[in-house]
Structure 1
Amino acid sequence: MTGTPSSRWRLLTVALSALMVVIAMAGPAPAAAQEEPEAPQALHPELFTNLGTAVSRNSIYNHALGYDAEGQPLYFQAYKGEPWILLVIDPLTGRTVQHTSDHVGNPYGIHFASNGKLYISTGGSGQDRLYCYDPAVGELEYLGRPTETEDVVWTLAEGDDDTIWGGTYPNSKLISIDPATNEMRDWGRISPTQPYVRFLDAKGPYVYCNCGPSRAEVWAFDTRTGEKTEILPDRLRQYLRYGYVQKRADGEVYLEAGGEKLRLNGLEFEPVDELPPTVPANHQGRPDRQILVMRDGTIITANHQTGQDRRYFIQQPGEEPRAVSFEYEGTKTVLWALEAAPDGLIYGTTRSPITLFSINPTTDEITVLGDPIGANGQVYGWVWHQGKLYMAAYSGGTLTVWDPAKPWQFGSAPESNPRLLGTLDIGRPAALIVAPDGQHLLSGGVPTYGDVGGVITIVDPGTQQIEVVPELLGTQSIASMLSVPESDLVCIGTTWRGGSASEAPKTDPRILLWDFATREMVYEAVPVPGEDGIVQMVMVGDLVYATTDGTGYLVVFDPYEQRVVHSTELGSGPGCLFGLGENPADGMLYAISGDSIVRIDPESYEIELLGTYPGLDWGLGIAGDSIYIYAGSDLIKFSIPPVE
């Protein structure tokens, strides 16, 4: 499977960015109601059958400790889902009260405030949202959107005056909540260039905003005047992706970078010999990095499997650690990819929590297999090789292998299945293929946050050795790849996009031929100027068929004669990740174009619009006269009309 994220949301983000800047310049502003767009209509709805929710598994994104009015401990767990969930748990017994929100979202920020209330911030659904849970009332209250422009409010922190502060993406704004009234305020942009206020803390009159990722910055926002000052010493910038000052156990704010230990006093850093212990901090999607300690010294730990296993771990003073089980009703999980496999089944994955599942196309029966990666994120590249499924995932380029003939037992040991093989030098490994020698695997993709320029990684599955071939593409990244049969050539499709929030220049995507034997580029062409990326490739006969995102084009390329044979618009919108495949049953190609499914004749290049389904997303699992697709968390079965 090859590809890169669809441009639908990215184009929308670009269009909104200019508007965001104008709004930010206008200064603090309250949120405003927004009109709902008119719902798109389906074309040939009789061909689409909604099979319902395929997977219901939730991913814990944050947890926190708090106390009720009587001083009894409360353990809060916040779960990503459709919609997201807050659990209020008795930490010693596991007795749970569930609060299911009215919105889809990822609970990125969580803070139990000095007023005895829990504040939660979410994002990931295109809108920043804030919530408050009051243990005395026992209800989850939706406070609204603090801005008109932002997608995420990240970590939350409390100032000395009890004000709750939060930082945003994609316009690095600072927001606040007055805990006495729950009034929200948008204070405008902090960094003029960076999209994230990823972490923040408050001390005295200052809120310290850690920005990045292409340039690490620390901004001090003066709550008395609204003035902001960039204070990170230039000598330390090279060691950080984001600025990262944080409050520690003594209540002071510190920075550790480049071997230096510094305490922040107002706007100045001063060296110290030792750093005080850290205190629990938000680690979105990684609760294992956040150990919670109750007032009596009891330790609570969780990990990314807590939601699926329905248990966390507790260690009371003087006792051994023990598991505490709890129950909750899961909500829907957003799907991510679908594709037919050599064993006749359709396999799919979900977004966080990553879940591998299969579909029997004869019965439509779904089998949930489990987490094949061992972390939150998404599986970008996957390929079958010698009866095993290899998967490469964001984040961190995690590479695993699963043998369907063996029992499921995830781990890193030789007998584990799926087994963790290592990590690739790729942020989002969009492409994973078998190399021309039939032995190695090749992966390429988009780099990590803030970086530009793609690499190719060469993996020996037997020895788990990984070789990185850097600096092949300039500022561009790899969006798709395939090996050209009976040659040493690898066909590569590129995108101008770099890692998330990077400052990549927009350049025309290219088709490249790379010689696996010599490790050299031997050909390049720009088939469609102005597109964003060549996101998907399949080979039929001697020709490579590819789709692009942006406007959305079909490109036909002859790798043997090294020439572009044909290009034309798909007709209904951009191509996408996992959005192109051949149907052996009728010899046709099928592709996703916007919200539509189109049929492509590989001989005449004629493109036929077959149907449109609002919300159609990435993935085509082709099985005879049917195609499995999805919209959000719903699995859809499309009946292919006969070829005329």
Structure 2
Amino acid sequence: MSITKLGIPVDAAESRTAAVCINETGDSRVVIAAKGFLLVVDIESGECAQLLFPDGNTEYPYDCFASSNGMFYVGAGNRFYALDPYQLIYVAVLQISQHRDELCGFSYAENLQGHIYVASYPACRLYRYRPEEQDITCYGSMDSEQKYPSYMAVDAYDWVYLGIGTARKNIVAYHPQRSERRTLLHEELRGIGMGQVMQGEDHQVYALLGEHWAKVEQGVVIERLTDNQLPASLYKGTSFDKFHRQLQGKWRLLSHSLSNRELLLKHIDSEQVKVIRLTYKSEGAALSTLISGPDSCIYGTSMHPLHFYSYDPHARGKGEGQNRLINWGPHVIQHGFGGNIAAYTVQGNLLIGAAYPEGRLHLYDVTRPIQTDKASLLANPNGQPSIRNPLCVSSHPEIFRPRCVVALRDQEHVVYGGFPGYGMVGGALCIYHLRSGKEWLIPNSALIEGQSTVSLVEAITDSVLIGGTSIETPGGAEPKAHSACIYTLDLEKRSVMQCWMLREDIREYTLLLVAPNGWIHTITSCSKYLVWDPGCEGVIHEVDLSSWGKVLHSGWLLSVEEECIYGVMGYAIFRIPLDSLQPERLFIPEREITAGLAKVDNELYFAMSAVLCSYSMKEG
């Protein structure tokens, strides 16, 4: 038996911000940052040059910067890069820290001397790069609690200002030569969110203090803006779609998208829009969770960028030339942004997915053709557009990062949950009624407070759910709990019935199943397989699977007919018979499995990074 590679569903990369570089002679280049490389675009010729990061670095950038003299700066992982976009060479490659988990380049600023300041995550350290000396200096952490230094500016007196958050917003003013640090936000203003600062012309700096902006200088507030009128920002766009600086002359940069492989320009007089096609080579976008739909096709999305794809295992019998693997593109998932569908379930003809970001719930009727907003309007230019398919029907920041969704046996409701948004601790659950569209949010305070539900299954008793929690806080807040738990929830009363702490050292119950006899099966984030008997309230079986690699969300499924569990972990395809409860590793992959799991007939489907794969369980 072996693994079959079915192909790369999404041959695309994601733009991770961009910058417009203009040198002393007025020549311009647009540089787009991506995972593992930079793409330099010559606006005049339309030519694209792809430059891989040195040393085989394939980390993600988070922001980038164009200096006043046209140089380009970006951080990826713990590396800082200075690029000459005209000579197409890296003039400096520097390691900012010995810590591999420190990520460089969450924000940037340039002082009057042309020195580049850059901030890191999660230690919130401030660094200074001097182009002439090509050296980098660390000034230490600017906030010992918060992790995201997402905004930066520097004034004419070399005071550096950082907008920091997420659980408690902060604005820090720091003078490198004096080692003097001040906090500009009063305690009553330091709620959930991100401190904001903005760089104006002539090194004027503005800070958002509560609801009003103020001009700051030499580390103090010198003038409050009563009408909140600010000069034009040097940044356009939001998140990874933003870009630093703007083109000169008659053309303006509108947007950049490696996912769409296009850069859009607009003429300021004629308003003509020009498209420059972006050419680059990609290893493909990593795949997220996948599922077998109601039609026995495999469905999933990629991550960064989000594209929706499908694979039909039976396509060969449907006619010559039938394409089994189809990338439906970046616009199919409504409000997809740069996230992914992280959890799926099936109810009738509906494929139902819960997506990051913003905790969005999507419904896809597999019996109807895919219908996007744009295609709908083109088909009905003078009438009401037809119903979009897939359709986003719900969104909750309290479930900003969904991890689980379950369709109930009543065939009318689905329930989904996950982690909350930035700076928050403990996620909610949402009950959604498929026919009416009504929904009910169960807040975290009514569940296991300070913990998030990341695995969910319906108990053998109707109207009772079993949830597995996580104490982790991927949105930047500090955890409040010390051990995760498994709980039962009365759906009619929307209240917790029982709560069990199986082991004190468990941080997350990543996978959860309930067997026909009512026993609860789980695999924890530390790869412990546990079987819990709710009747005697005890662990009746335990196996350490850590040698099999990482546990994967949605990485297993129950086969009632075969009376076993099938699953995948980082370095294992496995089976667990319900009679013996002894996990059996069926196959050891050469490369790490990164996402799962779906089953159609005798085939298991999963992903190895960007590659969709299958494993046949047929004998011989």
SS in 1 for 2:259: helix
CA distance in 2, matches of 1:285, 1:593: 32
Q: Which residue of 1 aligns with 2:380?
A: none
Alignment equivalent of 1:438, drawn from 411, 434, 455: 411
Sort the Cα spacing of 1:73 and 1:357 in 2 relative to 1 into closer, same or farther, 3 A.
same
CA distance in 2, matches of 1:235, 1:250: 32
CA distance in 1, matches of 2:87, 2:325: 41
Q: Is the 8 A contact 1:477 1:496 kept in 2?
A: yes
Q: Which residue of 2 aligns with 1:84?
A: 37
Q: Which residue of 2 aligns with 1:526?
A: 501
Sort the Cα spacing of 1:104 and 1:414 in 2 relative to 1 into closer, same or farther, 3 A.
farther
- Aligned pairs (5 A) from 1:557-636: 557=532, 561=535, 563-564=537-538, 566-571=540-545, 572=547, 575-583=551-559, 586-613=562-589, 614-636=591-613
Q: Which residue of 2 aligns with 1:12?
A: none
CA distance in 2, matches of 1:451, 1:156: 26
1:144 is the counterpart of 2:94 = yes
Q: Which residue of 2 aligns with 1:276?
A: 230
1:410 is the counterpart of 2:372 = yes
Q: Is the 8 A contact 1:436 1:489 kept in 2?
A: no
1:236 is the counterpart of 2:219 = no
Alignment equivalent of 1:310, drawn from 250, 261, 267: 261
Sort the Cα spacing of 1:575 and 1:294 in 2 relative to 1 into closer, same or farther, 3 A.
closer
For residues 299-342 of structure 1, give each alpha carbon's deviation from its aligned partner in whole angstroms, at most 9, with x where no partner exists.
Answer: 32226xx3233333322222124141313134121122223333
For residues 171-223 of structure 1, give each alpha carbon's deviation from its aligned partner in whole angstroms, at most 9, with x where no partner exists.
Answer: 11112221223322333222112222222111122111222222212222212
CA distance in 1, matches of 2:88, 2:440: 54
1:494 Cα deviation (Å)? 0.8
Q: Is the 8 A contact 2:425 2:480 kept in 1?
A: no
1:383 is the counterpart of 2:345 = yes
Sort the Cα spacing of 1:48 and 1:422 in 2 relative to 1 into closer, same or farther, 3 A.
same
- In structure 1, runs of 5+ residues without a counterpart are 1-45
CA distance in 1, matches of 2:262, 2:618: 48
Q: Which residue of 2 aligns with 1:115?
A: 69
SS in 2 for 1:286: helix
Which of 214-223 and 616-625 deviates more? 616-625
What is the total number of aligned residue pairs between the two structures? 586
Alignment equivalent of 2:205, drawn from 243, 253, 276: 253
For residues 584-607 of structure 1, give each alpha carbon's deviation from its aligned partner in whole angstroms, at most 9, with x where no partner exists.
Answer: 674421233453233211122121
Q: Is the 8 A contact 1:527 1:567 kept in 2?
A: no
Q: Which residue of 2 aligns with 1:397?
A: 359
CA distance in 2, matches of 1:145, 1:314: 35
CA distance in 1, matches of 2:569, 2:260: 38
Sort the Cα spacing of 1:461 and 1:132 in 2 relative to 1 into closer, same or farther, 3 A.
farther
Q: Which residue of 2 aligns with 1:27?
A: none
Code of the aligned partner of 1:310 = R
SS in 1 for 2:421: coil
CA distance in 1, matches of 2:527, 2:64: 40
Q: Is the 8 A contact 2:402 2:418 kept in 1?
A: yes
CA distance in 1, matches of 2:114, 2:179: 17
Alignment equivalent of 1:514, drawn from 471, 474, 489: 489
Code of the aligned partner of 2:473 = G
For residues 362-395 of structure 1, give each alpha carbon's deviation from its aligned partner in whole angstroms, at most 9, with x where no partner exists.
Answer: 5794222223242102222222223122222222
SS in 1 for 2:258: helix
SS in 2 for 1:209: strand
CA distance in 1, matches of 2:496, 2:524: 24
1:358 Cα deviation (Å)? 2.2
Q: Which residue of 2 aligns with 1:31?
A: none
1:177 is the counterpart of 2:129 = yes
Alignment equivalent of 1:420, drawn from 387, 392, 404: 392
SS in 2 for 1:578: strand
Give TM-score scaled by structure 1 length. Answer: 0.83
Q: Percent identical across equivalent pairs?
A: 21
1:456 is the counterpart of 2:429 = yes
Sort the Cα spacing of 1:557 and 1:278 in 2 relative to 1 into closer, same or farther, 3 A.
farther
Q: Is the 8 A contact 1:158 1:202 kept in 2?
A: yes
1:61 Cα deviation (Å)? 1.7
Q: Which residue of 2 aligns with 1:159?
A: 111
Sort the Cα spacing of 1:250 and 1:163 in 2 relative to 1 into closer, same or farther, 3 A.
closer
Alignment equivalent of 2:167, drawn from 201, 204, 214: 214
CA distance in 2, matches of 1:257, 1:441: 42
For residues 233-285 of structure 1, give each alpha carbon's deviation from its aligned partner in whole angstroms, at most 9, with x where no partner exists.
Answer: 223212x5122122235642112343222221222224222332331338674
Alignment equivalent of 2:325, drawn from 366, 375, 379: 366
Code of the aligned partner of 1:605 = L
1:140 Cα deviation (Å)? 4.5
CA distance in 2, matches of 1:146, 1:565: 46
For residues 43-68 of structure 1, give each alpha carbon's deviation from its aligned partner in whole angstroms, at most 9, with x where no partner exists.
Answer: xxx63344554421121121221224
- Aligned pairs (5 A) from 1:190-209: 190-203=142-155, 204-209=157-162
- In structure 2, runs of 5+ residues without a counterpart are 317-322, 375-384
Q: Which residue of 1 aligns with 2:14?
A: 59
Sort the Cα spacing of 1:282 and 1:132 in 2 relative to 1 into closer, same or farther, 3 A.
farther
1:290 Cα deviation (Å)? 5.0
CA distance in 1, matches of 2:244, 2:112: 24
1:463 Cα deviation (Å)? 4.5
CA distance in 1, matches of 2:585, 2:502: 23
Code of the aligned partner of 1:441 = V
CA distance in 2, matches of 1:566, 1:323: 66
Q: Which residue of 2 aligns with 1:536?
A: 511
CA distance in 2, matches of 1:466, 1:375: 24
1:70 Cα deviation (Å)? 3.2
Code of the aligned partner of 1:300 = L
CA distance in 1, matches of 2:431, 2:272: 42
Q: Which residue of 2 aligns with 1:8?
A: none
Sort the Cα spacing of 1:564 and 1:323 in 2 relative to 1 into closer, same or farther, 3 A.
farther
CA distance in 1, matches of 2:51, 2:387: 40
1:488 Cα deviation (Å)? 0.9
1:454 Cα deviation (Å)? 2.0
Which of 469-478 and 587-596 deviates more? 587-596
CA distance in 1, matches of 2:92, 2:361: 39
Q: Is the 8 A contact 2:9 2:326 kept in 1?
A: no
Q: Is the 8 A contact 1:167 1:197 kept in 2?
A: yes
Sort the Cα spacing of 1:259 and 1:297 in 2 relative to 1 into closer, same or farther, 3 A.
farther
1:521 Cα deviation (Å)? 1.3
Q: What RMSD, in angstroms, separates the aligned Cα atoms of the two structures?
A: 2.8
1:324 is the counterpart of 2:301 = no
CA distance in 2, matches of 1:350, 1:496: 26
Sort the Cα spacing of 1:574 and 1:326 in 2 relative to 1 into closer, same or farther, 3 A.
closer
Q: Which residue of 2 aligns with 1:33?
A: none
For residues 69-111 of structure 1, give each alpha carbon's deviation from its aligned partner in whole angstroms, at most 9, with x where no partner exists.
Answer: 531332222233xx33423231x66443333444313232211
CA distance in 2, matches of 1:584, 1:228: 62
1:168 Cα deviation (Å)? 0.8
Code of the aligned partner of 1:379 = I
Which of 561-570 and 437-446 deviates more? 561-570
CA distance in 1, matches of 2:236, 2:273: 24
SS in 2 for 1:619: strand
CA distance in 1, matches of 2:244, 2:117: 22
